[in-house]
Amino acid sequence: MNEVALAAAGLGGAGALALGWASLVERRWFALRQQQLAVLDHPGSLKVLHLSDLHLLGWQRDKMRFVEGLAELEPDLVVATGDLLGHPNAIDACVATLRGFAFQRPALMVLGSNDFFAPRPRNPLGYLRGPSGLGRRQIRLETDRMVAGLVEGGWTLMDNQRQRVVTTIGTVDVAGLGDPHIRRDRPDAIDWTPPDPKADQQPVLRLGLVHAPYRRALEQFTTHGYGLVLAGHTHGGQVRLPGIGALVTNCDLPTRQARGASRLNDNAWLHVSAGLGTSMYAPVRFFCRPEATLLTLTSRENR
């Protein structure tokens, strides 16, 4: 065997090992990421559990157990930023997995495209050309049934809504947008009037929620004075390369912001969850473990 053939065999073997790791090990190697951000306009701290992109399939018992176990962290607030479903038959499993979070604390959600439409096979290399679209022959999911089950369990849907949420250290001014990836964001439906500075109770935090962190959505939150935005959708790139990071974000967000916390401006932060799942048609993760995040929010004075 000549040197070229040996090199090709070596590359093929390395590729097979990488694919085996990404599809059989890492995509099920769930992690809890912890991070502290100084964003509160109030002394004290607030623990926020950020879940996203479960893409849940009804037979993924290991993922369900991991998510259910996160309730033991006793967060003050739970946020789910969409793409909870991964299959038309996963609604009951999704509701059962998430409803235990909302009984003793506020639990807020926005929806993603996969909560409305079932996944379909696509060429993974297409993501390198730009954000994915819906395409034709989409299977519509029973979104209303999933939402009803979660709302019955204490969750609040925040798509194109604004609400003051009571937490252990004060109220949080929350605004949520529908998924920009499928143009369900309706900023005109939200009353963006800033809090009255003369009111006795000022919010300890102004929090924005959106599934896909398109820049037009992020600009809505920063323009209106929101200090922290939580999002998902990117899967952290899903496939990351050492020294390079994410190759794609599946939206217009720069790849350097595909996972974790980053600055939007001097007064606002973005946190993008790498999420806990993948499409059933692209079940791989590489250098990008599936994750949930426990954010400990502290006073800006701690900066």
pLDDT, position 171: 96
Distances (CA, A) of 49 to 5, 38, 231, 272: 50, 16, 12, 12
pLDDT of residue 9: 42
Instruction: Please tell me the predicted confidence (pLDDT) of residue 7.
Output: 42
Amino acid at 242: P
Instruction: Tell me the β-bridge partners of 202.
Output: none
pLDDT tens digits along 145-195: 999 999 999 999 999 999 999 999 999 999 999 999 999 999 999 999 999
| Intervals of the chain under pLDDT 70 | 1-15, 123-130, 133-137, 302-303
What is the pTM assigned to this prediction?
0.93
Residue 86 structure tokens: 């991964």
**What is the rounded distance in angstroms from the CA atom of residue 194 to the CA atom of residue 226?**
10
The SS3 assignment for 245 reads strand
The domain made up of 3-127+138-302 has a fold known as: Purple Acid Phosphatase; chain A, domain 2 (3.60.21)
> Residue 228 is encoded by which pair of tokens?
């922290």
